[in-house]
């Protein structure tokens, strides 16, 4: 199977709660696993940054569904590219939530010259690396509990 990676940015509609976002991510991890899709979802200050990786058809089909989802808006495709390997192997859809972008400044500054959180200023590789960094931090915190 040829592997593809899709990266996009979007904004939550007004009134979407953290519980709503958690529920999206929980359902997503079940469906993504069944589609052999891996990836990560960052939610911060009402902004989403998501990476999806898997076969070309499942990823395209899922993104078509996500585009129709009324719980977010201003959806911007950042990258859709063929890749050699998964960056999120073993993560069906891991959610990372930060109340404010100040919480991830050490990771973000590695990829952006500007501290204000604007995923559209990053290229696809930087988005993937940034999100992976955040997931690694989450894994470290969880495993040290
Ligand atoms: C920001 C955002 C990210 C989402 N990510 C996924 C995802 O990775 N996988 C998924 O199955 N659904 C995801 N969804 C939900 C889908 O839009 C859709 O509701 C879900 O796939 C169920 O679709 P279905 O009822 O047609 O199977 C996401 C929704 C939003 C708003």
Each residue's pLDDT expressed in tens, for the chain with a length of 145 residues: 899 999 999 999 999 999 999 999 999 999 999 999 999 999 999 999 999 999 999 999 999 999 999 999 999 999 999 999 999 998 888 899 999 999 999 999 999 988 899 999 999 999 999 999 999 887 666 555 5
Name the strands in the sheet holding 3-12, side by side, starting at the edge strand that comes first in the sequence: 72-83, 3-12, 47-54, 38-44, 94-98
Residue nearest to atom 7 of ligand 1 (CA): 28
With a 6 Å cutoff on the Cβ, whether 66 touches ligand 1 is: yes
With a 6 Å cutoff on the Cβ, whether 6 touches ligand 1 is: no
Our CA dihedral for 44, 89, 73, 113, rounded to 10 degrees, sits at 50
What atom of ligand 1 comes closest to residue 66's alpha carbon?
17
pTM over 0.85: yes
* Residue partners of 115: CB distance under 8 A and separation at least 6: 101, 105, 108, 109
48: its two tokens: 């989403």
With a 6 Å cutoff on the Cβ, whether 32 touches ligand 1 is: yes
Q: Give me the residue spans of the domains in the chain.
A: 3-143
Q: What CATH number matches the domain at 3-143, 3.40.50.10490, 3.40.50.10280, 3.30.70.100, 3.40.50.10470?
A: 3.30.70.100
Q: Are 122 and 115 in contact (CB under 8 A)?
A: no
Residue nearest to atom 24 of ligand 1 (CA): 65
With a 6 Å cutoff on the Cβ, whether 104 touches ligand 1 is: no
pLDDT in the model for residue 140: 67
* Residue partners of 89: CB distance under 8 A and separation at least 6: 38
Q: How far is the CA of 49 from the centre of ligand 1 (A)?
A: 13
What atom of ligand 1 comes closest to residue 93's alpha carbon?
8
């Amino acid at each position: 199977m040829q592997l593809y990676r899709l990266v996009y940015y979007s904004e939550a509609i007004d009134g979407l709660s953290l519980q709503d976002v958690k529920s999206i991510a929980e359902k997503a991890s079940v469906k993504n696993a069944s589609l052999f899709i891996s990836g990560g979802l960052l939610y911060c200050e009402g902004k989403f940054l998501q990476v999806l990786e898997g076969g070309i058809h499942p990823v395209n089909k899922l993104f078509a569904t996500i585009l129709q989802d009324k719980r977010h808006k201003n959806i911007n495709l950042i990258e859709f590219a063929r890749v050699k390997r998964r960056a999120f192997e073993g993560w069906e859809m891991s959610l990372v939530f930060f109340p404010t972008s100040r919480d991830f400044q050490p990771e973000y500054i590695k990829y952006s010259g500007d501290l204000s959180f604007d995923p559209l200023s990053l290229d696809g590789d930087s988005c993937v690396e940034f999100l992976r960094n955040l997931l690694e931090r989450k894994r470290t915190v969880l495993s040290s509990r």
